[in-house]
Amino acid sequence: MQLDHVSSVLRPRRSWEGIDLGFAMARVWFLPLWFLWWVTALPYALFLALISGGRADLWLLALWWCKPLYEAPLLFWASRALLGAQPPWSATHAVVRTAMSRALLPLLLWRRLSLRRAFLMPVTIVEGLRGEPGRQRRRVLSLHQSAPRWLTILCYHFEAILWLGLLLTLVFLIPRELVRIDLAALVLGAGSWLDWLSALLYLLAFSVIAPVYVCAGFALYLTRRTELEAWDLEVAFRRAHSTPPTSGRVPRPGTLAGLTLIGLCTTLASGDAMAVTKLDPDQAQTLIQEILADEDFGSRLDVTLWLPPGATDADNPAERAWSPGVRTWMLLLATALKWLALALVLLILAGLVVRLAHDWRRRLRRPPHPVPNALPTWFGQAPDPVVPEESATRIRALLDAEQARAALARLYGWMLAEVSRLGPRLSPGATEGDCLSGARARLPAASAALVTRVIAHWRLVAYGRREPDARLVRQLFDGWCQVLGRRETTRASPTTTPRTRL
Amino acid sequence: MRATDAVEPCGGRPDARRIPPSSIDTIRFHETPEGIDLALRVAGPVVRALALVIDVLIRLAILVVALPLLALPGVGAGIFLLLLFGLEWLYPVFYEVRHGATPGKRALGLTVVHEDGTPVGLSASLIRNLLRVVDFLPLLYAVGLVSCLVDRDFRRLGDLAAGTLVIHHTPPQPQAQGLDVPPRRPPPGLPSALQQAILAFAERGRSLSPARRGELAEILAGPHGLRGSAAVAAVEGWAAWIASGAGDAPALPQPNPRGAQPPP
Amino acid sequence: MRQRAFEIAHAEVWDEYRRWLDHLEAGARAGTSARAGTRRRLPRPRSHAAAFPRLHRQVCVHYALARGRGYSPGLVEALEQLVRRGHRLLYRRRPLSSAAALDFMTRHFPATLRRHHGVFWIAALVFYAPMIMMAFAVHQDPQLVYSLMDATQVADLEASYDPARRHPGRGPDRQADTDVAMFGFYIMNNIGIGFRTFAGGLLLGLGSLIILLFNALYIGAVAGYLTQLGYGSTFWPFVSGHGPFELTAIVICGTAGLLLGQALVAPGNRTRLAALREHAGDAVILVGGAAILLVLAAVIEAFWSATPAPAALKYGIGLAGWGLVGLYLARAGLRPHHAA
């Protein structure tokens, strides 16, 4: 393989992830792969339908057994696509021919039932290994690997689930009056045209799962070889050196003709035991209903009427087996549970009523004055000019009431007002960073440093939801008062520090 | 680090444009607030189906163990029915919120996360598990299977509505060993991708067969006339050079982030 | 900077970070596993708790650097493992507290329902209108009941509400343990129906509509049939207690389902997936609230409805229940005037 053109990222993966990679590949290439599957499978399906003698179950079994025949072209196509050279539609014929030329006979005979089929198929189809080297490669690859088996088992189940899902959807959607479809007959096969419908739906499920299964097996194979041989490193080494790869393998012409296999398949498929004669459940159901509707079955009421009131336990043989002690205990437990549950419910209801009443009272009562500790809702927006004394007293009050958060908010607001007063108003959308740069530009260094600290703490409060330390806020507040006081004095003198504008 | 270039479209997959269409992979990147790309390796239908089977078996086992409760008249039956309800609806929610995944998923190394890689919360877990009913339709998760096959991130309908992903949690490979070979000067002008590959070769070399190591090393060292184990030694020497320079850094007995504590 | 020097320079940060991860992960697990055992063996982190986010950011930077500078894949992956563990710990959702649960019941749930009151009224219409019509129809023509139930079900129904009979299940002789069994059954059955009603919404809302409609017809038929038989004296007192909670909860589950359907049918100015995500978030709140209502209903139905209390008292409690539910859904969790 020419690894340096691989279009899917090679890297070490868990084997489950390898399978997932295959599913991703199948998703991207689904349409061409699906088309290719039908192109290969349809001729076989028609031919087998001719020779199966009208037996839908035999036909399906033969088709199922020949699966490797239509999976081989998919695998070949996927390997080309992985190397970045997606075969065009026009090359479909060549793809099918090349894939069919590989040694497919073992896959159709003794290796057909292997649970690692998809995982090991690339050895035959992509590498073209046969005989002893192929056997050796397969043995090394499947050492300590359980994922390939699970892949096959689950894909069989996926097919069955899709088939049943399609069947059920069909049965549910078709009105009863239009055509009576008996679900049990459909699933079990009762030898009518319904068998063919069921088999066709199964074929559809085959066709949907086949690309997924083949790609998943192929990706698992890639993953395993990457693990064993570090293919990702080889790709990186080669890409960097851009040396031409040395090991391009020439496809060998196969010796098998597909048609000879079909005869074999049909002979192998002849011994099946799926046709079981069954009583029609619908008839049985109506029969049961008729019998149940008879008066003889309506006499249950009489039996209960015989009971004396109060002696309810005696009629239950299961309860009679319990000693009276256990019975009393159970009753006690039940009663306790009952009252517990009732009490709990009453408690919840009472809680709700209290809460409702509380909310209602709050709605009815207008707040007499704005709540003092309400946080300012702006972020960086300057509030109306604050009277310094009022701010100071309020902050002090808040600090005394141990509402450090509200105090810090108000202090921040005060600082913003101060910054706005000294220069152009801060825009409503200004962030803390804008305020900070504004403060640095307009305030003297000592005040600016203080503002920096306050904003840092405010950020912790606003974004980090961290309660500030009351002592720290008080310290900041005192510092601010000092700074303000000093500035008030310096401001009167003509030697004010010149302010730089950003 | 990489800057986001556009605002995410509403509800669209933000990561779709990062992966070139030519390369197919199951890895999804999510950018965290710290500005790094966190890789999420989404898990596909096969491994999820297996996890589901394990979970179903566990629930059945619990029911079988609880079966004797039915012998107690009244109370036992009531408790059994409550248990049935809990196992049907709340078992996955409980384990996902508590431990990140149900026992079956954990056994296979899977975790349920929000699309941003954070552990799944109560609301999302409830949504994805209540909508399980629809994924189950018409039987045995046929709808969920189709949804998994069609969706790029293998999400079933419940996952789509809840915005959750099922991802592989365990690291893809065993921890690599450190290098302890004398550094050798590599040929000049190695591209960074190749440097990384050389480092990876040195770290992962032990898991390869000696013949294969020689083969790989010869791709690089062959043009310099080196073959076999000489080539391997040369490439490992280059790796040591790339990692630590010509020996200017003091040799550390054990590189630290690999999980092992340094010897005291 | 060479990789080895990078590793040496930051080894200490990584070690401390790893200690923190081990410590916090053990704390997260401690709820179930042996708390003391896991805690004591791990080395305690040396820094203050506030250092963890800072360490996380630091290691994130190291990870980005390691990737950007092309250090060895092993180192990059080891760092990514560290970062991933930290990310999970740092950004995990807060565990559910009792305060949050109370807030959910008193504010969150009714407020969410009121936000979607239009859908709620549609669901109520779909539920109550057929129910009442069916009840009247069956009252006029009892044969209609057989369109929904077969003969055995009807016979069972008659037997269990026959006022002339002392049925062991529903008389003064009914014992507490039967109540518990019935409670289990009501929880499993009714909440299961509620959840399915919600999930059915994902089928373009049709599933929810069908389940709502079917339940409405069934309940209506039962009520009409029993009343017409003259069994109203046992039937109506029995259902009056839990009816307000159960019926309302089913309608709310239908509302949740219809919300999902609405997102798929009429997503508005968004993609269907985005609309679905947004509506699913609200819908699951409704389902959670409805489930709590259904638990309430199950308690009442199992432990109160079957008690031999006088019919008048039962009717009174039923009326009170309707009033309470209405008041609760309409008024609970309203914001105070000045904030609104």
What would the mean pLDDT of A373-400 be, rounded to a whole number? 61
CA-nearest of C179, C177, C307, C303 to A331 is C177
Residue A49 has pLDDT above 90, yes or no: no
Q: Residue C75: its chain B contacts at CB < 8 A? A: 255, 257-258
Q: Which amino acid is present at C296?
A: L
pLDDT of residue C192: 87
A376 in a domain, yes or no? Answer: no
| C168 Cα to chain A: minimum distance (Å) | 6
Tell me: do B121 and B228 sit in the same domain. Answer: no
**Cβ–Cβ gap A342/C299 under 8 Å:** yes
Contact between A1 and A126 under an 8 Å Cβ cutoff? The reply is yes
Cross-strand partners of B165? B113
Lowest mean pLDDT among A364-368, B197-201, C18-22, C152-156: A364-368
B213 and B145 share one domain: no
Q: Are residues A358 and A400 in the same domain?
A: no
Separation between Cα atoms, residue B233 and residue B226, nearest integer Å = 10
Instruction: Pick the closest to residue C9 from B244, B184, B186 (CA basis).
Output: B244
pLDDT at residue B261 is higher than 90: no
Report how far residue A313's alpha carbon sits from residue A224's, in angstroms, rounded to the nearest whole number: 67
Burial of C75 (0-12, 13-18, 19+ CB in 10 A): buried
Q: Which of A315-329, A465-479, B126-140, B211-225 has the lowest mean pLDDT?
A: A315-329
Residue that finishes a domain, picked among B120, B146, B168: B168
69-98 in chain B: CB under 8 A from chain A: 71-75
Residue C227: partners with Cβ closer than 8 Å, 6 or more residues away: C135, C139, C235, C236
Task: Indicate whether C42 pLDDT > 80.
Answer: no
Reported as type and span, the H/E element at residue C55 is: helix C51-68
Predicted confidence at residue B176, as pLDDT, reads: 55
H-type helices in A101-192, by residue range? 105-108, 117-125, 131-141, 147-173, 183-188
pLDDT (mean) for A434-447: 80
Among A347, A362, A366, A459, the strongest candidate for a mutation testing the C interface, having the largest count of C CBs within 10 A, is A362
Q: Assess whether B184 and B204 both reside in one domain.
A: yes
pLDDT for position A206:
92
Long-range contacts of C101-106 (CB under 8 A, 24+ apart): C102/A351, C102/A355, C104/C285, C104/C288, C104/C289, C105/A348, C105/A352, C105/C289, C105/C292, C106/A352, C106/A355, C106/A356, C106/A359, C106/C332, C106/C333
Check if the beta carbon of residue A414 is closer than 8 Å to that of residue A402.
no
The answer as to whether B21 is a domain residue is: no
Q: State both tokens at A243.
A: 């040396």
Q: Are residues B147 and B85 in the same domain?
A: yes
* C-alpha span between C224 and C161 (Å, rounded): 13
- The CA distance from C295 to B89, in Å, is 14
By C-alpha distance, which of C288, C314, C310 is closest to C301? C314
Whether residue C276 and residue B160 make contact (CB cut-off 8 A), yes or no, is: yes
DSSP letter assigned to residue B205: G
What's the rounded Cα separation, in Å, for the pair A89 and A71? 17
Average pLDDT over chain A reads 73
- Give residue A388's pLDDT: 64
DSSP codes of every residue in B156-201: -HHHHHHTEEEEE-S-SSPPPP---S---PPPS---HHHHHHHHHH
Whose structure tokens read 């840092």?
A456
- Rounded to an integer, the average pLDDT of B23-46 is 84
Report if residue B134 sits inside a domain.
yes
pLDDT grade for A263, boundaries at 50, 70 and 90: very low
- Taking only residues 363 to 422 of chain A, the set having a beta carbon closer than 8 angstroms to any beta carbon of chain C reads 363-364, 366-367
| pLDDT band per the 50, 70, 90 thresholds, residue B173 | low
Q: What is the pLDDT of residue B56?
A: 93
Lowest-pLDDT range, A102-116, B25-39, B216-230, C164-178?
A: C164-178
Provide the residue range defining the domain that includes A446.
388-492
Q: Can you tell me the distance from the alpha carbon of B229 to that of B235, in angstroms, rounded to the nearest whole number? A: 10
Residues of A in contact with C57 (CB under 8 A): none
Are A416 and A439 contacting, i.e. CB atoms less than 8 angstroms apart? Answer: no
Whether B62 and B90 map to the same domain: the answer is yes
The Cα C323–Cα C40 span in angstroms is 56
Q: Which of residues B148, B168, B188 is at a domain's end?
A: B168
pLDDT bin (cut points 50, 70, 90) of residue A250 is very low
pLDDT at A276 > cutoff 50: no
CA angle A270, A272, A276 (to 5 degrees): 135
Q: Using 50, 70 and 90 to split pLDDT, how confident is the model at A272?
A: very low
Name the residue facing B119 among C92, C177, C185 (closest C-beta): C92
As for how many domains chain B has, the answer is: 2
The pLDDT-based confidence of A322 (bands split at 50, 70, 90) is: low
Chain C residues touching residue B195 (CB < 8 angstroms): 70
Q: HSE (CB half, 13 Å, CA atoms) of A274?
A: 20
The beta-carbon neighbor of C176 closest among A305, A338, A360 is A338
pLDDT classification of A285: cutoffs 50, 70, 90: confident
Q: Do the beta carbons of residue B41 and residue B168 sit within 8 Å?
A: yes
In terms of domains, do A173 and A88 share one? yes
How much is the pLDDT for A310? Answer: 52
Check B140 against A164: CB less than 8 A apart. Answer: yes
Q: Looking at chain A, which residue has its C-alpha nearest residue B73?
A: A319
Least confident of A386-395, A457-466, C51-60: A386-395
**Same domain for A362 and A232?**
no
User: So what's the pLDDT on residue C138?
Assistant: 87
User: Does C78 sit within 8 Å of B175, measured CB to CB?
Assistant: yes
User: Based on the domain organization, do B56 and B162 belong to the same domain?
Assistant: yes
Domain span at residue B222 reads 176-248
Per-residue confidence (pLDDT) for residue A7, from 0 to 100? 58
- So what's the ipTM on this one? 0.78
Residue B161 and residue B61 share a domain: yes
The answer to whether residues A114 and A262 belong to one domain is yes
Instruction: Locate A486 and state its tokens.
Output: 């000093």
Same structural domain for residues B98 and B138? yes
Q: What is the spatial distance between Cα B222 and Cα A234, in angstroms, rounded to a whole number?
A: 13
> Are A28 and A82 in the same domain?
yes
Task: Give partners of C (≥3 CB pairs < 8 A).
Answer: A, B
Residue B52 has pLDDT above 90, yes or no: yes
CB C119, CB C258: distance < 8 Å:
yes
| Euclidean distance between CA atoms A180 and B84, whole angstroms | 36
CB C248 within 8 A of CB C324: no
Q: Which of A3, A4, A14 to mutate to test the interface with B (most CBs of B within 10 A)?
A: A14
Flag if C202 and B162 touch (Cβ within 8 Å). no
The model's pLDDT over C62-102, given as tens digits with 9 standing for 90+, comes to: 888 888 877 777 788 888 888 888 888 888 776 666 667 77
Helices (H), ranges, C200-231: 206-229
- Let me know if C183 is exposed, middle or buried by CB neighbors in 10 A (0-12, 13-18, 19+): buried
Q: Give how many domains chain A has, as a whole number.
A: 3
Residue B155 and residue B185 in one domain? no
- Asked if residue B160 and residue B53 are part of one domain, the reply reads yes
Mark whether A251 and A399 lie in a shared domain: no
Q: How big is the A-B interface in CB pairs under 8 Å?
A: 155
Please give the torsion angle defined by the CA atoms of residues B172, B173, B178 and B182, in that order, rounded to the nearest 10 degrees. -110
Examine the domain organization and report whether B134 and B182 are in the same domain.
Answer: no
Q: Are residues A397 and A356 in the same domain?
A: no
Q: How confident is the model at residue B178 (pLDDT cuts 50, 70, 90)?
A: low
Residue A377, in any domain of the structure? no
Last residue of a domain, one of B168, B197, B215: B168
Q: Out of A268, A285, A301, pick the residue that ends a domain.
A: A268
* Residue C145: band (very low, low, confident or very high) from pLDDT cuts 50, 70, 90: confident
The structure tokens listed for A107 are 């896959």
Cβ contact (<8 Å) for B78 and C181? yes
- Judged against a pLDDT cut of 80, whether residue A188 lies above it is answered with no
C54 inside 8 A of chain B by CB: no
Q: Residue B25 carries which DSSP code?
A: -
Structure token digits, residue B221: 């060292």
- Mean pLDDT, range A5-22, rounded to an integer: 79
Q: Using a CB-CB distance cutoff of 8 angstroms, which residues of chain B are in contact with residue A230?
A: 201, 204, 208, 212, 216
CA distance A242 to chain B (A): 10
Is A345 within 8 Å of C337 when comparing Cβ atoms?
no
